[in-house]
Amino acid sequence: MRKWGLLVVFILIWPMIGLLGCQRHQPANQQVTESDSSWYLYQVNHHNASNISRLKFYTDKTVSVQNIRFFSSKTGSNMLNSDFANPSFKLNADGKEIIINTAHPKMIIALKKSYQHQINGYTLRGYRVIYQGSNYQLGQVVRVNRAAVKKFQKQQTKHVAQQQNVSDRLGKKLMTHLQPVPAKAKATAQLGSQKISGGYNYQTIIHRSRAYGHLDINDQGHFTNTLYIRAPQDNPLAKTDNPVIWQQQTVSGYLRALYGKLYLQPLNQLIIKYYTAGQNPQNPVVKSLHLVTNSPKYGTNIKVARTRIERQSDKLLLFNEDLQVWNKNSSHGLALVPTSQKLAALNDQYQVLYQHYLTLKKNPIASNADLRQFVGAIAANNDSTIAGIGVNMNGNYSIDQKVADFQGVDKKGNKQPLMQYLVFIEPAVMQEKKSGWSVSTKAGNFLIFGVLQQKLYLLEQPDTDSLTTTWVPFRNFPLRLPTANITWN
């Protein structure tokens, strides 16, 4: 009887075992994209979260991607597709990758091991991932310690203020840290039996950015090498350059003869970075100025690939593994083209750029293009918002409209003064929502900013079904650009 009883039980549970065995485990990438809650893609640097993006997946196979400052940030900079809309996504069949079709390049997130940890007052659970070749975490918030979050954000705000004070002091005396060419240095401008002192131009590719260089060599073998790097090209084959200026790098030092070639021995490197969102290339805003030096006292701090000059078939070529030739089929170096042009020394370049920075910081707006740039610079430091209003600096915009076409009316029905400058900027729109601050125009809904007598205004539409608009000033909002981050080593 006992055997028959066991047999009956086995017969009853066997279908259940078979059913459980047939059920497939849901792939990790599917678990992520079918979740109703937001996911956070971020790195961990010095026990703090950085490079944070918030991802919200939708049932129509699109995803909202926002770059944000804190996990608690309500707004951020949207990453869109080439049509300025939320990108679509697809899943790899192996269950380990999520591919998001943002405007070039695509986001490819490779899921690895699961994890759970606490950071900045948040407990997150999810997956360790590889993104852009680096280690990231992709997690969901499962618990919040509000006191710890408040303490961390207060510390971050204080840290930023301290950095600004240091930058202001250092900017005035940064050039006192320049390293001179040592008296014992075996500097030379002789390559073989010929002098190569003079000025040279060259062009190169750095990743997807086009760059233009100028090399000056004096008779003593001292050099100044300046490189102007443009923002990455959306289309690498485009005939015209991206007009946005990304960086300027200037290296000074001396030439040393080795193996029948001349090697550039760097002593000083000045790196200037510019705000790129909404940039006015004719008057760009400085984001940071960094001086890096090599010296016996402070060590080797300049991180540039070894650079050399060779003569081949009566042509001077520059070789540096970080600098690609424009013609991918060519294995030769960068052609140095002689020119009578001469650029200022590194110290003089800095003084001009630093004065430009100080002038723009106090008086940032002298055109519609400057106003767009101002909004972009402020938004870049405030989670893609300006006074709490989300802006999409990668979206549509206009700087060509006439101020006379946008006459505002105050609450009493009186005409308001005309703005000096104004700009259309696309609002940061969440999924299927419109900005409550935008104004309807023939070209679509835009945020319309204006400037009058050093004050910033926003054009509002009291009634959406009426053409009446009014200019509203931003209260306690000084028209000043962010302080540049100025550092030495």
DSSP codes, 190-258 = EETTEE--EEEEEEEEETTEEEEEEEEE-TTSEEEEEEEEEPPPSSTT-SSPP--EEEEEEEEEEEEEE
> Kind and range of the H or E element at 40?
strand 39-45
pLDDT in tens, 281-303: 999 999 999 999 999 988 899 98
CA distance 459 to 416: 11
| 450 in the same domain as 330 | no
**Contact, 121 vs 155, CB < 8 A?**
no
Domain count, the chain: 3
Angle CA 305–306–308, to nearest 5: 135
Q: What is the CATH number of the domain that holds 116?
A: 2.40.128
In a domain, 181, yes or no: no
pLDDT higher than 60, residue 200: yes
In a domain, 220, yes or no: yes
Q: Which two tokens stand for residue 160?
A: 């930023």
pLDDT of residue 385: 84
In a domain, 159, yes or no: no
* Domain end among 144, 178, 203: 144
| 241 in the same domain as 382 | no
Range of the domain at 345: 186-359
pLDDT in tens, 4-34: 454 444 444 444 444 334 445 789 999 999 9
| 135 in the same domain as 224 | no
pLDDT of residue 429: 63
In a domain, 20, yes or no: no
Task: Collect all residues with Cβ–Cβ distance below 8 Å to 5 and sequence separation of at least 6.
Answer: none
Q: Read off the pTM.
A: 0.70
pLDDT higher than 90, residue 73: no
Q: Which two tokens stand for residue 225?
A: 């090498």
| 319 in the same domain as 200 | yes
Helix (H, G, I), strand (E, B) or coil at 456: strand
| 414 in the same domain as 349 | no
Q: Which two tokens stand for residue 3?
A: 């055997």
Task: Collect all residues with Cβ–Cβ distance below 8 Å to 331 and sequence separation of at least 6.
Answer: none
| 316 in the same domain as 210 | yes
| 410 in the same domain as 334 | no
Q: What is the C-alpha R_g of the chain?
A: 29
Nearest of 252, 176, 169, 239 to residue 210 by alpha carbon: 239
CA distance 489 to 487: 6
CA distance 70 to 53: 9
| 381 in the same domain as 350 | no
pLDDT in tens, 55-67: 999 999 999 998 8
In a domain, 330, yes or no: yes
In a domain, 200, yes or no: yes
Task: Collect all residues with Cβ–Cβ distance below 8 Å to 61 and sequence separation of at least 6.
Answer: 88, 89, 90
CA distance 62 to 471: 36
Nearest of 312, 332, 188 to residue 262 by alpha carbon: 188
pLDDT in tens, 239-255: 899 999 999 999 999 99
pLDDT higher than 50, residue 430: no
Chain CA centroid to CA 270, Å: 19
pLDDT of residue 331: 62
Nearest of 309, 328, 289 to residue 213 by alpha carbon: 309
pLDDT of residue 162: 56
* Domain end among 359, 380, 398: 359
Residue 105 vs residues 67, 78, 87, 89, 218: alpha-carbon distances, Å: 15, 15, 12, 13, 42
pLDDT in tens, 349-383: 999 999 999 999 989 999 999 999 999 999 998 87
CA distance 392 to 445: 12
CB atoms within 10 A of CB 224: 23
Residue 373 vs residues 65, 170, 364, 399, 475: alpha-carbon distances, Å: 23, 25, 9, 11, 20
CA distance 477 to 131: 38
How large a percentage of the chain has pLDDT more than 90? 58
Q: Which two tokens stand for residue 252?
A: 């000074």
Task: Identify the weakest region by mean pLDDT among 7-16, 76-85, 360-369, 397-406.
Answer: 7-16
> Kind and range of the H or E element at 374?
helix 368-380
| 338 in the same domain as 300 | yes
| 372 in the same domain as 283 | no
Which residue type occupies 217? I
Residue 255 class from Cβ within 10 Å (0-12 exposed, 13-18 middle, 19+ buried)? Answer: buried
Secondary-structure breakdown of the chain: helix, strand, coil percentages, each rounded to the nearest 5: 20, 40, 40
In a domain, 178, yes or no: no
pLDDT of residue 28: 93
Task: Collect all residues with Cβ–Cβ distance below 8 Å to 90 and sequence separation of at least 6.
Answer: 61, 98, 99, 101
| 455 in the same domain as 423 | yes
Helix (H, G, I), strand (E, B) or coil at 348: helix
Tokens 């080439």 locate to 82
Q: Which two tokens stand for residue 295?
A: 């010296």
Please spell the DSSP secondary structure of 325-380, one letter per residue. Answer: -SSTT--S-EE-EEES--PPPHHHHHHHHHHHHHHHHHS--SSHHHHHHHHHHHHH
Nearest of 156, 196, 216, 176 to residue 340 by alpha carbon: 216
Over the range 232-254, which residues count as b (16 or more CB within 10 Å of their CB) and which as e? bbeeeeeeeebebbbbbbbbbbb
| pLDDT interval class at 169 (50, 70, 90) | confident
In a domain, 152, yes or no: no
| 123 in the same domain as 89 | yes
